[in-house]
Amino acid sequence: MRVLILGGDGYLGWPTAMHFSAAGDDVWVADNFAKRKWELEEGIAPLVAVPTLHRRIRRWKALTDKTMHIRVGDLTNHRFVYNLFEEAQPDVIVHYAEQPSAPYSMQNRATAVFTQVNNLTGTLNVLFAMRRHCPDAHLVKLGTMGEYGTPNIDIEEGYITINHNGRTDTVLYPKQPGSYYHLSKVHDSHNINFACRIWGLRATDLNQGVVYGIDTDQTALDPDFRTSFHYDHVFGTVLNRFVVQAAVGEPLTLYGKGGQTRGFLNIRDTLQCVDLAARNPSNAGEYRVFNQFTEQFSVMELADRMVAAGKRAGLKVKIRHIDNPRVELEEHYYNAKHSKLNELGLNPSLLTGAVIDSMLATAQTYRSNVDKEMFLPQIRWVGGQERLP
């Protein structure tokens, strides 16, 4: 296939690019490197410095003799997007290119507005470019389980059938997002669904759970292939943060009681899920939704597993409960369906003790790089850090 990966410099984008290239697909990568700029603005950095995308692609060609095409530009620039799609003529578009952080979006008015404008405008430009230049292509869009929130009923995969006043209909599942970032993903979902219904486009929306993990088969091949593993309070995810905290002897910081329950998956399974979606496209006019996660855990359950991993490594890992900076239910019902990717052949990498042990060992190797100031949350949902000019 000819695969266009939008946001190909990121934590998920770069491993995805290598994954498809290793499989023999013709890979095009686009990015504007905004994530690196946001990191500089926030004063944070990945656990290990990440080489430039250009260097990684050159090294990839040197080791594998496989070429990736790179284009630098911003999805909010419709001329760049139209030219890119006309040139690449992709069979599959994998869309990661959005501001990905809930805390960043809740920081102040400016970051909330930027998140909405950046994410929605970019996706709309993608849809219009597909309509004009490659209407038969398949869009694989990274959504989030956070779109659903924590309803007091089972979470279905994208749609729900309702009975009302004696009539029955199947509609998009109602969304209760918890941040302006998650809300931008809800708007994306509605826009993509509309484009499929009206223009006959084909799309798969992957409502992804919380991702953890450091390595994939390809990132482990060479130091230049590493991806941007974050542990900080802005771009880091909870298990990744716990692993690094344990590695440097800091207590695991649990927001509130730690009863928040979410779906989780290994970064290796992200690649597997995206591959399955790409190689099994939806039909023309079909907006398909997969809930992309493999297991459900509460934050407290993850912390307990991290304590056990620390004990196996000879570390005494402690737990510290702190005030929850977010506005969210800490004890709630959570039962999300996730069968469609399994039906396509997903073989999940579950969160075993060995997986956590491996992550911990890697974090210990790079413990001298850790900035402990980045563990505690500095952005609050109520009040935030609003600074008016």
The DSSP secondary-structure symbol of 331 reads S
Determine the Cα–Cα distance for residues 185 and 191; give it in Å rounded to an integer: 10
Residues near 389 by beta carbon (within 8 Å), at least 6 away in sequence:
none
96 catalytically annotated: no
Q: How many of the other CB atoms lie within 10 Å of CB of 288?
A: 22
Choice among 35, 104, 111, 185 that is catalytic: 185
Q: What is the pLDDT of residue 52?
A: 98
Choice among 104, 148, 173, 181 that is catalytic: 181
**What are the mean pLDDT values of the chain's consecutive 10-residue runs (389 residues total)?**
98 98 98 98 97 98 98 98 98 98 97 98 99 98 98 98 98 98 98 98 98 97 97 98 98 97 98 98 98 98 98 98 96 98 97 98 98 96 59
Q: What is the pLDDT of residue 242?
A: 98
pTM of the entire structure?
Answer: 0.97
Q: What is the pLDDT of residue 387?
A: 44
Residue with tokens 């890979």: 27
Q: What is the pLDDT of residue 383?
A: 67
Q: Let me know how long the chain is.
A: 389
318 catalytically annotated: no
- Judged on CB neighbours under 10 Å (0-12, 13-18, 19+), 2 is middle
CATH class of 2-374: alpha beta
User: Angle 70-14-16 (CA atoms, 0-180°, nearest 5)?
Assistant: 105
104 catalytically annotated: no
Q: Domain boundaries in the chain? A: 2-374
Q: What is the pLDDT of residue 389?
A: 38
3-state secondary structure of 180: helix
Q: What is the pLDDT of residue 317?
A: 98
Q: What is the pLDDT of residue 18?
A: 98
170 φ/ψ angles, rounded to the nearest 5 degrees: -110, 125
Calculate the alpha carbon distances from 35 to 81, 127, 340 in Å: 19, 22, 31
Choice among 76, 111, 123, 144 that is catalytic: 144
3-state secondary structure of 381: coil
